[in-house]
Amino acid sequence: MEASPLILRAHDWVVELDPAHGGQIVRADWQGLPALAPGQAGRAAADQHAGCFPLVPFSNRIRDAAFRFLGREIHLPPPEYMEPHALHGTGWRTSWSAEASGPGNARMWFEHPRGPWPWRYRAEQTVSLEAGQLHISLSILNLDSEPMPAGIGLHPYFVRPQGLWLNAHTGGRWATLPGETGLPHARDAAPEDLGAPGHDHCFFGWDRRAEFGGADGLAVSITASPALGNLVIYTPPDEAYFCLEPVSHVNNAVNMDALAQAEQMAVLAPGEQLQGAMTISVRPA
């Protein structure tokens, strides 16, 4: 049976969850102002640039939807993994179960059987509300009998205010080649204006804090737990939204050598879990 949307109301928040369509948060308003770009329940997360959806069992892209792991060739076919590069894992295209445990707390989860992604796992999200803060946690548990590569992340969309300013401290970014959006090519320095239109890069060495604001709306800061030490910044030109995505590994990490440990995908032994969390804090601009 498909899980119905859940609405949480607490501490001046109104937050709507749509577990059946990718375990997504489709709306998060604080004191009547949108902390996330508002979406619509009943629509797939892949079809709307809004809210926040989970990235599991990997973040961003895997080149050519293929990789080699412990001597096995793994191929991730469309439509589940898109093409030509697998994108954002399976969680955002999966129906999650859900339950609320109070006016400001909820849990969503699903279990993934073996398939093109040839390992069994369980993913779980929790959402909780406090005064001026929205907490989201995400975990993946290896249910398989073999080791599994794993990554997680959160993909929030924010309203782009007039006069956007954006601050984040990173060690640099992974640049991409023309025509290879989102696929890392080489390290370079972080640009001076992180809020400028046209970014679609993964930033490494992130101190797990970022803040932004503008002439209207809310001033917002995000903080992430140690497992989410990389940050994808996506600022498409001529759009009313942008994204700050705390993630556990760099794009296409499973196909890359000589990465720093904090940039790699985890390898989970049977029964092992990877967990990360993000807090969105808001105040009037």
Q: Which residues pair with 66 in a beta bridge?
A: 75
Backbone torsion region of residue 163, taken as left when φ is above 0, otherwise alpha when ψ lies between -120 and 50, otherwise beta: left
Please answer whether residues 281 and 209 qualify as being in contact, where contact means their C-beta atoms are separated by less than 8 angstroms.
Answer: no
Query: pLDDT digits over 211-261, tens only?
Result: 999 998 899 999 999 999 999 999 999 999 999 999 999 999 999 998 999
Interatomic CA distance for residues 28 and 40, integer angstroms = 11
Indicate the fold that domain 6-284 takes in CATH. Answer: Beta-galactosidase; Chain A, domain 5 (2.70.98)
Interatomic CA distance for residues 269 and 274, integer angstroms = 10
pLDDT at 119: 98
Per-residue pLDDT, averaged over 254-279, amounts to 97
Percent of the chain past pLDDT 90, that is, above it, reads: 92
The domain locations on the chain are: 6-284
Please answer whether residues 152 and 61 qualify as being in contact, where contact means their C-beta atoms are separated by less than 8 angstroms.
Answer: no
DSSP codes joined into one string, 146-206: S-EEE--EEEEEEE--TT-EEEE--SEEEE--TT-TT---EEEPPPS-TTSTT-EEEEES-
Task: Dig out the tokens for 73 from the structure.
Answer: 């060739």
- Which whole-number Å values give the CA distances from 59 to 55, 175, 250, in the listed order? 5, 17, 8
Query: pLDDT digits over 130-186, tens only?
Result: 999 999 999 999 999 999 999 999 999 999 999 999 999 999 999 998 888 889 999
Q: What is the pTM of this model?
A: 0.96
pLDDT at 1: 63
pLDDT at 2: 75
Per-residue pLDDT, averaged over 65-85, amounts to 93
